[in-house]
């Protein structure tokens, strides 16, 4: 097997164009990781541990980095799109397990976008100086925002590397502003950087507080796994992926450390807890002369980008599963003029609406995203070990054996109730996965009653197939 980029399907189809070199891939990875997590959850993490808000982000970074080594081995070994679903399918060959992993990834995209919608609403109220910090109006704005995302998705906005570069620069600029403000405060002595060593974990032990906060902070590190879906559009993926992915993770990890330390040095953690726009509070405190409404716009842009990327991924993945015949085929219908999967867009948007209305709070939505992806990462780490028995002809990255083992154990542990994870997150994740089970059961029943040929999941086509063909 080589880096040919072929999907491996039975029929000969065009391959994706390889346009991404190391620079563009790095910007894609950094842009995918940066966003809602650090912009919205810094205060919530501080509420778990106090001034050492940087420590949970560091723990989350280490766990993500360890898991990234497993992804590196697998993406350089199998340089195709589909990511976790592909690796699960190759490792275990169980259709139902492959489906549940793919559906969990899809659900994580919806919960992540819902988190972004709530953060967008909070920044919107700050940008326009509206007294909407609490109450039903935040929900209304979140719903309207998600409706706009659905409309953009319906119009056919696809993945654009050039657009991602622009969005990444905007997201990064906001965080660099925070870091520069921190450096200025350190230089003139305005900030109290000793707060960054103060623990305040309430009734928990210091270790218990850090672990609980790390499960939430992990949300800020997710996103790197999306880059594996760009493997077929990268030049020499087996060669460039290891260095670029690690560089992207380390870059974002350093940025998160600096931002979190700056935040608590300028604003006491007790005040950070009280706001849904923690970084905006940091700007107001550290640089009163800075146009705070401009930073609010940057924050809105950053979380909007996160929402759009995740809803595009979720609707496309659902469309792919419908095309494979593992969930009702109606979800795979394509609009005759827009050539977009309008039914799957509508379905995923309705799920997001439900989360915004009935779950609402950013920590619960962000925590559910982390929970779903920690379960997926556990499976990926195990798959990395299982697939050691499947050699390929080309050279590829090989992770030290201890890392997938540690990664599987760490991700599994962070997903358990032992971390004091809120019960609400398990309920939300359970409801979403139950919806997947219902869709699977309905399809199985219909296929059995109609005698339709059962179509097995081909993970390699779940994400790399464009919804442009008219449905038969």
> 150: part of which helix (H) or strand (E)?
helix 136-154
Structure confidence by residue, pLDDT tens digits, 100-139: 998 999 999 899 889 888 888 888 887 777 765 556 778 8
Structure confidence by residue, pLDDT tens digits, 391-405: 888 888 899 999 999
pTM: 0.84
In a domain, 31, yes or no: no
In a domain, 280, yes or no: yes
The predicted pLDDT at position 444 comes to 81
Whether the CB-CB separation of 71 and 225 falls below 8 Å is answered with yes
How many C-beta atoms surround the C-beta of residue 102 within 10 A?
A: 29
The predicted pLDDT at position 172 comes to 84
104: left (phi over 0), alpha (psi -120 to 50) or beta: alpha
The predicted pLDDT at position 428 comes to 93
Cα 92 from Cα 390, distance rounded (Å): 12
In a domain, 93, yes or no: yes
Structure confidence by residue, pLDDT tens digits, 403-436: 999 999 999 999 999 998 889 999 999 999 999 9
* Distances 264 to 93, 258, 287 between C-alpha atoms, Å: 48, 10, 15
In a domain, 55, yes or no: yes
SS (H, E, C) 192-227: CHHHHHCECCCCCCHHHHHHHHHHHHHHHHCCHHHH
The predicted pLDDT at position 264 comes to 92
Number of folded domains that form the chain: 1
Cα 212 from Cα 224, distance rounded (Å): 22
In a domain, 470, yes or no: no
In a domain, 12, yes or no: no
The predicted pLDDT at position 16 comes to 43
The predicted pLDDT at position 234 comes to 67
The predicted pLDDT at position 353 comes to 94
Domain hosting 228: range is 37-461
The predicted pLDDT at position 375 comes to 95
Residues of the chain predicted below pLDDT 50: 1-16, 158-161, 468-472
Cα 55 from Cα 46, distance rounded (Å): 10
In a domain, 298, yes or no: yes
In a domain, 23, yes or no: no
Coil, helix or strand at residue 50: strand
CATH code, domain carrying 100: 1.20.1740.10
């Amino acid at each position: 097997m080589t880096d040919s980029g072929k999907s491996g399907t039975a029929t000969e189809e065009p391959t994706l164009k390889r346009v991404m070199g190391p620079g563009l891939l790095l910007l894609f990875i950094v842009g995918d990781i940066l966003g809602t997590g650090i912009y919205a959850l810094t205060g919530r993490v501080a509420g778990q541990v106090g001034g050492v808000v940087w420590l949970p982000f560091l723990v989350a970074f280490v766990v993500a980095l360890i898991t990234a080594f497993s992804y590196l081995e697998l993406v350089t070994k199998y340089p195709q799109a589909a990511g976790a679903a592909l690796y699960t399918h190759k490792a275990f060959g169980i259709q139902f397990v492959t489906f549940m992993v793919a559906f969990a990834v899809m659900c994580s995209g919806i919960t992540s976008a819902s988190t972004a919608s709530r953060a967008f609403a909070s920044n919107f109220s700050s940008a326009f100086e509206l007294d909407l910090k609490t109450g039903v109006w935040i929900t209304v704005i979140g719903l309207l925002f998600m409706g706009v995302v659905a409309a953009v998705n319906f119009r056919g906005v696809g993945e654009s590397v050039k657009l991602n570069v622009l969005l990444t620069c905007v997201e990064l600029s906001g965080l660099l502003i925070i870091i520069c403000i921190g450096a200025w405060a350190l230089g003139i002595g305005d900030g109290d950087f000793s707060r960054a060593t103060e623990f305040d974990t309430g009734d928990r032990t210091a270790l218990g507080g850090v672990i609980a906060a790390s499960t939430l902070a992990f949300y800020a590190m997710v996103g790197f796994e999306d880059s594996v879906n760009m493997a077929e559009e990268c030049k020499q993926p087996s060669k460039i992926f290891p260095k670029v992915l690690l560089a992207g993770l380390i870059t974002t990890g350093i940025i998160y450390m600096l931002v979190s330390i700056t935040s608590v040095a300028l604003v006491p953690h007790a005040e950070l807890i009280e706001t849904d726009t923690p970084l905006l509070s940091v700007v107001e405190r550290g640089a009163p002369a800075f146009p705070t409404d401009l930073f609010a716009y940057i924050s809105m842009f950053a979380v909007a980008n996160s929402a759009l990327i995740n809803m595009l991924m979720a609707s496309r993945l659902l469309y792919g599963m419908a095309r494979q015949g593992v969930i009702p085929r109606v979800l795979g219908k394509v609009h005759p003029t827009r050539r977009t999967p309008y039914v799957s867009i509508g379905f995923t948007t309705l799920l997001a609406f439900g989360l915004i209305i009935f779950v609402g709070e950013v920590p619960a939505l962000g925590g559910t995203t982390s929970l779903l992806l920690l379960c997926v990462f556990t499976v990926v780490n195990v798959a990395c070990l299982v697939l050691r028995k499947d050699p390929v002809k080309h050279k590829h990255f090989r992770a030290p054996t201890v890392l997938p083992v540690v990664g599987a154990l760490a991700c599994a542990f962070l997903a358990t109730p032992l971390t004091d994870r809120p019960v609400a997150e398990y309920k939300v994740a359970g409801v979403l996965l139950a919806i997947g089970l219902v869709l699977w059961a309905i399809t199985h029943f219909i296929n059995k009653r109609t005698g339709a040929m059962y179509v097995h999941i081909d993970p390699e086509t779940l994400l790399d197939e464009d919804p442009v063909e008219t449905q038969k």
